[in-house]
Amino acid sequence: MATRELTDADFEKTVRENDIVLVDFWAAWCGPCRQFAPIFEAASGEHPDIVFGKVDTEAQRRTAAAAQITSIPTLIAFREGILVFAQPGALPATGLAQVIAGVKGLDMAQVHAEMAKQREVFDKPREITQDDLVTALAEDGTVLVDVREPMEYRAGHVPGAQLMPLGRLGDTVDELPTDRRVLVICQSGKRSLTATDALRQRGIEAYSVAGGTSAWAEAGRQIVTGPYAAPTD
Protein backbone atom coordinates (compact mmCIF):
# COMPACT_ATOMS: atom_id res chain seq x y z
CA MET A 1 0.00 0.00 0.00
CA ALA A 2 1.43 3.40 -1.00
CA THR A 3 1.69 6.27 1.44
CA ARG A 4 -1.38 8.48 1.70
CA GLU A 5 -1.44 12.27 1.98
CA LEU A 6 -3.59 13.20 4.98
CA THR A 7 -5.31 16.55 5.38
CA ASP A 8 -7.00 18.49 8.13
CA ALA A 9 -10.30 17.22 6.71
CA ASP A 10 -9.61 13.48 6.80
CA PHE A 11 -6.91 12.95 9.44
CA GLU A 12 -9.18 12.09 12.38
CA LYS A 13 -11.44 9.90 10.23
CA THR A 14 -8.44 7.94 8.95
CA VAL A 15 -7.11 7.35 12.46
CA ARG A 16 -10.53 6.37 13.78
CA GLU A 17 -11.43 3.92 11.01
CA ASN A 18 -8.18 1.96 10.68
CA ASP A 19 -6.45 -0.45 13.06
CA ILE A 20 -2.89 0.84 12.69
CA VAL A 21 -1.99 4.23 11.24
CA LEU A 22 1.59 5.50 10.99
CA VAL A 23 1.94 9.21 10.23
CA ASP A 24 5.01 11.03 8.96
CA PHE A 25 4.85 14.76 9.69
CA TRP A 26 7.12 16.50 7.18
CA ALA A 27 7.80 19.63 5.12
CA ALA A 28 9.28 20.09 1.66
CA TRP A 29 12.15 22.28 2.91
CA CYS A 30 13.26 19.73 5.52
CA GLY A 31 16.36 17.72 4.53
CA PRO A 32 15.89 14.91 7.09
CA CYS A 33 12.26 14.64 5.92
CA ARG A 34 13.44 13.99 2.37
CA GLN A 35 15.88 11.35 3.68
CA PHE A 36 13.16 9.57 5.63
CA ALA A 37 10.53 9.70 2.86
CA PRO A 38 11.82 6.75 0.76
CA ILE A 39 12.26 4.61 3.91
CA PHE A 40 8.68 5.34 4.92
CA GLU A 41 7.47 4.66 1.37
CA ALA A 42 9.30 1.33 1.19
CA ALA A 43 7.82 0.20 4.51
CA SER A 44 4.33 1.02 3.27
CA GLY A 45 4.76 -1.53 0.50
CA GLU A 46 5.88 -4.19 2.98
CA HIS A 47 2.91 -3.72 5.33
CA PRO A 48 -0.37 -3.53 3.38
CA ASP A 49 -2.31 -3.97 6.63
CA ILE A 50 -1.09 -0.59 7.91
CA VAL A 51 -2.08 2.87 6.73
CA PHE A 52 1.02 4.97 6.11
CA GLY A 53 -0.04 8.62 6.12
CA LYS A 54 1.95 11.77 5.44
CA VAL A 55 1.06 15.21 6.78
CA ASP A 56 2.62 18.29 5.21
CA THR A 57 3.02 20.53 8.25
CA GLU A 58 3.09 23.66 6.08
CA ALA A 59 -0.22 22.87 4.38
CA GLN A 60 -2.05 21.08 7.20
CA ARG A 61 -1.31 23.42 10.08
CA ARG A 62 -4.37 22.54 12.16
CA THR A 63 -3.44 18.85 12.29
CA ALA A 64 0.21 19.63 13.01
CA ALA A 65 -0.80 21.93 15.86
CA ALA A 66 -3.22 19.40 17.32
CA ALA A 67 -0.46 16.77 17.25
CA GLN A 68 1.88 19.25 18.98
CA ILE A 69 4.55 18.87 16.30
CA THR A 70 7.60 20.95 17.20
CA SER A 71 10.24 19.15 15.15
CA ILE A 72 10.20 17.41 11.78
CA PRO A 73 10.19 14.78 10.67
CA THR A 74 8.11 13.33 13.48
CA LEU A 75 6.68 9.82 13.32
CA ILE A 76 3.43 9.11 15.17
CA ALA A 77 1.68 5.75 15.43
CA PHE A 78 -1.96 5.06 16.29
CA ARG A 79 -3.49 1.69 17.16
CA GLU A 80 -7.26 1.40 17.42
CA GLY A 81 -7.45 5.19 17.49
CA ILE A 82 -5.02 5.52 20.41
CA LEU A 83 -1.71 7.34 20.14
CA VAL A 84 0.86 4.68 21.06
CA PHE A 85 4.14 6.11 19.70
CA ALA A 86 5.60 9.51 18.87
CA GLN A 87 9.22 10.38 18.11
CA PRO A 88 10.93 13.19 16.22
CA GLY A 89 13.84 12.52 13.89
CA ALA A 90 14.49 10.51 10.75
CA LEU A 91 14.56 6.80 11.56
CA PRO A 92 16.68 4.30 9.64
CA ALA A 93 14.87 1.36 8.02
CA THR A 94 15.77 -0.92 10.94
CA GLY A 95 14.43 1.60 13.44
CA LEU A 96 11.16 1.96 11.57
CA ALA A 97 10.84 -1.83 11.40
CA GLN A 98 11.25 -2.01 15.19
CA VAL A 99 8.54 0.60 15.69
CA ILE A 100 6.15 -1.28 13.43
CA ALA A 101 6.84 -4.58 15.21
CA GLY A 102 6.31 -2.91 18.58
CA VAL A 103 2.99 -1.37 17.55
CA LYS A 104 1.75 -4.66 16.09
CA GLY A 105 2.78 -6.53 19.24
CA LEU A 106 0.92 -4.30 21.69
CA ASP A 107 -1.56 -5.88 24.09
CA MET A 108 -4.46 -3.59 23.23
CA ALA A 109 -6.66 -4.92 26.03
CA GLN A 110 -4.05 -3.69 28.47
CA VAL A 111 -3.65 -0.38 26.61
CA HIS A 112 -7.40 0.24 26.74
CA ALA A 113 -7.47 -0.64 30.45
CA GLU A 114 -4.67 1.83 31.14
CA MET A 115 -6.43 4.52 29.12
CA ALA A 116 -9.65 3.94 31.05
CA LYS A 117 -7.79 4.26 34.34
CA GLN A 118 -6.15 7.45 33.15
CA ARG A 119 -9.48 8.96 32.09
CA GLU A 120 -10.95 8.05 35.48
CA VAL A 121 -8.08 9.83 37.24
CA PHE A 122 -8.36 12.95 35.06
CA ASP A 123 -12.09 13.17 35.81
CA LYS A 124 -11.34 13.68 39.50
CA PRO A 125 -10.66 17.12 41.04
CA ARG A 126 -7.01 18.21 40.75
CA GLU A 127 -6.77 19.84 44.19
CA ILE A 128 -7.40 19.05 47.83
CA THR A 129 -7.74 21.55 50.67
CA GLN A 130 -5.42 22.15 53.60
CA ASP A 131 -7.92 20.43 55.88
CA ASP A 132 -7.92 17.44 53.52
CA LEU A 133 -4.14 17.30 53.91
CA VAL A 134 -4.43 17.29 57.72
CA THR A 135 -6.82 14.36 57.51
CA ALA A 136 -4.61 12.51 55.03
CA LEU A 137 -1.47 12.90 57.14
CA ALA A 138 -3.25 11.25 60.04
CA GLU A 139 -3.69 8.14 57.91
CA ASP A 140 -1.04 5.49 57.42
CA GLY A 141 0.58 5.25 54.02
CA THR A 142 -0.02 8.83 52.89
CA VAL A 143 2.47 9.88 50.22
CA LEU A 144 3.21 13.62 50.22
CA VAL A 145 5.63 14.94 47.62
CA ASP A 146 7.23 18.39 47.86
CA VAL A 147 8.18 19.59 44.37
CA ARG A 148 10.11 22.70 45.42
CA GLU A 149 13.86 23.13 45.26
CA PRO A 150 16.16 21.73 48.01
CA MET A 151 16.82 25.20 49.49
CA GLU A 152 13.08 25.85 49.86
CA TYR A 153 12.51 22.42 51.34
CA ARG A 154 15.31 22.95 53.85
CA ALA A 155 13.85 26.30 54.92
CA GLY A 156 10.63 24.59 55.95
CA HIS A 157 8.39 21.77 54.83
CA VAL A 158 5.30 19.88 55.94
CA PRO A 159 6.17 16.93 58.20
CA GLY A 160 6.46 13.73 56.21
CA ALA A 161 6.87 15.42 52.84
CA GLN A 162 9.49 13.85 50.60
CA LEU A 163 11.45 16.09 48.28
CA MET A 164 11.10 15.54 44.53
CA PRO A 165 11.96 18.81 42.74
CA LEU A 166 9.71 19.51 39.78
CA GLY A 167 12.67 19.66 37.41
CA ARG A 168 13.72 16.13 38.36
CA LEU A 169 10.26 14.62 38.60
CA GLY A 170 10.67 12.67 35.37
CA ASP A 171 13.71 10.91 36.85
CA THR A 172 12.05 10.02 40.15
CA VAL A 173 8.44 9.30 39.18
CA ASP A 174 9.05 5.55 39.16
CA GLU A 175 9.62 5.75 42.92
CA LEU A 176 5.98 6.72 43.47
CA PRO A 177 3.21 4.17 44.06
CA THR A 178 0.51 3.60 41.45
CA ASP A 179 -1.90 1.78 43.76
CA ARG A 180 -2.84 4.74 45.98
CA ARG A 181 -3.13 8.50 45.73
CA VAL A 182 -0.15 10.84 45.86
CA LEU A 183 -0.46 14.35 47.33
CA VAL A 184 1.71 17.08 45.84
CA ILE A 185 2.71 20.33 47.53
CA CYS A 186 4.86 23.34 46.67
CA GLN A 187 5.05 26.88 48.06
CA SER A 188 1.74 28.28 46.79
CA GLY A 189 0.02 25.53 44.81
CA LYS A 190 1.11 26.46 41.26
CA ARG A 191 4.06 24.12 40.71
CA SER A 192 2.17 21.33 42.44
CA LEU A 193 -0.64 21.63 39.87
CA THR A 194 1.90 21.26 37.07
CA ALA A 195 3.36 18.20 38.79
CA THR A 196 -0.11 16.77 39.43
CA ASP A 197 -0.98 16.93 35.73
CA ALA A 198 2.33 15.29 34.79
CA LEU A 199 1.83 12.48 37.31
CA ARG A 200 -1.73 11.85 36.17
CA GLN A 201 -0.47 11.41 32.63
CA ARG A 202 1.69 8.62 34.01
CA GLY A 203 -1.34 6.92 35.55
CA ILE A 204 -0.72 8.14 39.11
CA GLU A 205 -3.71 9.42 41.09
CA ALA A 206 -2.18 12.73 42.16
CA TYR A 207 -3.71 15.77 43.88
CA SER A 208 -2.26 19.24 44.39
CA VAL A 209 -2.52 20.79 47.86
CA ALA A 210 -4.20 24.18 47.45
CA GLY A 211 -2.30 27.04 49.08
CA GLY A 212 0.85 25.00 49.43
CA THR A 213 3.36 25.19 52.26
CA SER A 214 2.71 28.92 52.70
CA ALA A 215 -0.92 28.35 53.69
CA TRP A 216 0.12 25.47 55.93
CA ALA A 217 2.55 27.70 57.84
CA GLU A 218 0.15 30.66 57.97
CA ALA A 219 -2.40 28.42 59.69
CA GLY A 220 0.13 27.85 62.48
CA ARG A 221 0.71 24.22 61.63
CA GLN A 222 4.02 22.47 62.19
CA ILE A 223 6.87 23.17 59.80
CA VAL A 224 10.04 21.07 59.75
CA THR A 225 13.40 22.69 59.02
CA GLY A 226 16.86 21.22 58.80
CA PRO A 227 19.59 19.98 56.52
CA TYR A 228 18.82 18.19 53.31
CA ALA A 229 21.13 15.64 51.79
CA ALA A 230 21.03 15.98 48.01
CA PRO A 231 20.44 12.72 46.15
CA THR A 232 23.43 11.17 44.46
CA ASP A 233 23.38 10.43 40.74
Q: Could you list the active site residues?
A: 30, 33
Is the peptide bond prior to 73 cis by the omega test (within 30 degrees of 0)? yes
What distance in Å separates the CA atoms of residue 159 and residue 182, rounded to the nearest whole number?
A: 15
What distance in Å separates the CA atoms of residue 69 and residue 41, rounded to the nearest whole number?
A: 21
